[in-house]
Amino acid sequence: MTQFLDISGLCARIDADGQEKEILKGVDLSIPPGEVHAIMGPNGSGKSTLAYVLAGREDYEVTAGSVTFQGQNLLDMEPEERAAAGLFLAFQSPIELPGVNNANFLRTAVNAVRRARGQDELDAVAFLKTARAAAKELSMSPEMLKRNVNVGFSGGEKKRNEVLQMTLLQPSFAILDETDSGLDVDALRIVAEGVNRLRSPTFSALVITHHQRLLDYLVPDRIHVVAKGRVIHSGGPELAQQIDREGYTRFLAEAEAA
């Protein structure tokens, strides 16, 4: 059955210092519309690579498999086309853009996406009004809109800024790559609430995390365990507690045995 997002047999490698390194080794994953799925797994298992490949980062070469997103071949699309189609990636380490005003960046991005989606562009006044309201909901000071993109932001401010961008770009599918790392409990809750506000029958998300705590606030429909470049186990939200108690050893052993 065709889902909202269908990843099938996805293999990808990266050229690291002249050496080809296989990172994804046959990822199978489907996300229906309106569902939030979580990905957990040991370090170096390919979680972030999966996020990058879905978003279209060109350092990675897809060697096999397919990704269908709302009926389209995602792998054929440029990163900006994927963004226009509704895909959003919240970066694990948000990038700094010196000299680029945050509000200006956000408006340029929002209008680029709106143009591509056949919607009217927002003028500066309308945009600022929307952006200020969205920032307030994330407990961000309006001053942050005036600063340069991510320059001099604390770790927590950067993550909130990612969620702010997500809120304004109105994606149908968001990938959150360890958005919870480095956040204190309060910030974690604010960020999780930001994502929860977007939840609707037309919004899906893939949440990459190491910690069960985020999943307390952001209860996923499914949890997938990724190791050694593949999904080795899937289950319901209760899986998070099990991983928290037992670690990944059992899943890894089962995967070896199979």
Partner 1 sequence: MPAVTETREAVEQLGQSSYKWGFETEIDMDLAPKGLTEDTIRLISAKKEEPEWLLDWRLAAFRAWQGMKEPTWAKVSYPPVDFQDLHYYAAPKKKPGPKSLDEVDPELLRTYEKLGIPLHEQAMLAGVEVPEGEQARLPVAVDAVFDSVSVVTTFRKTLEEAGVIFCPISEAVREHPDLVRQYLGSVVPAGDNFYAALNSAVFTDGSFVFVPKGVRCPMELSTYFRINARNTGQFERTLIVVEDGASVSYLEGCTAPMRDENQLHAAVVELVAMEDASIKYSTVQNWYPGDENGRGGIYNFVTKRGACRGARSRISWTQVETGSAITWKYPSCILQGEGSVGEFYSVAVTNNCQQADTGTKMIHIGRNTRSTIIAKTISAGRSDSTYRGLVRVLPKASGARNFTQCDSLLIGDQCGAHTVPYIESRNMGARIEHEATTSKISEDQLFYCRQRGLSEEDAVGLIVNGFCRDVLKELPMEFAVEAQKLLQISLEGSVG
Closest CB 26 distance from partner 1, rounded Å:
25
How far apart (Å, rounded) are the C-alpha atoms in residues 59 and 63?
A: 13
In order of 140, 167, 174, the CA distances from 133 in angstroms are 10, 11, 21
In order of 16, 32, 52, the CA distances from 212 in angstroms are 32, 22, 23
Closest CB 54 distance from partner 1, rounded Å:
10
Give the N- to C-terminal CA distance of the chain in Å, as an integer: 26
Closest CB 55 distance from partner 1, rounded Å:
5
Within its chain, how far is the Cα of 36 from the centroid? 11
Closest CB 250 distance from partner 1, rounded Å:
36
**Under 8 Å between Cβ of 230 and 26:** yes
Closest CB 203 distance from partner 1, rounded Å:
17
**Under 8 Å between Cβ of 114 and 121:** yes
User: Given the complex with partner 1, which of 27 and 166 has the nearer CB atom?
Assistant: 166
Contacting residues for 164 by C-beta, under 8 A, at least 6 apart = 106, 131, 134, 135, 138, 140, 194
User: Given the complex with partner 1, which of 20 and 78 has the nearer CB atom?
Assistant: 78
The angle formed by the CA atoms of residues 36, 42 and 47, to the nearest 5 degrees, is 50
User: Given the complex with partner 1, which of 3 and 101 has the nearer CB atom?
Assistant: 101
User: Given the complex with partner 1, which of 76 and 96 has the nearer CB atom?
Assistant: 96
Closest CB 78 distance from partner 1, rounded Å:
7
User: Given the complex with partner 1, which of 114 and 189 has the nearer CB atom?
Assistant: 114
Binding residues for partner 1 (CB under 8 A): 55-59, 78-80, 82-84, 88-89, 91, 94-101, 105, 108-110, 112-113, 116, 148, 165, 169
User: Given the complex with partner 1, which of 13 and 222 has the nearer CB atom?
Assistant: 13
Phi-psi region of 160 (alpha: psi -120 to 50; beta: other; left: phi over 0): alpha
Closest CB 166 distance from partner 1, rounded Å:
10
Q: DSSP 3-state assignment of 208? A: strand
DSSP state of 200: B
User: Given the complex with partner 1, which of 46 and 94 has the nearer CB atom?
Assistant: 94
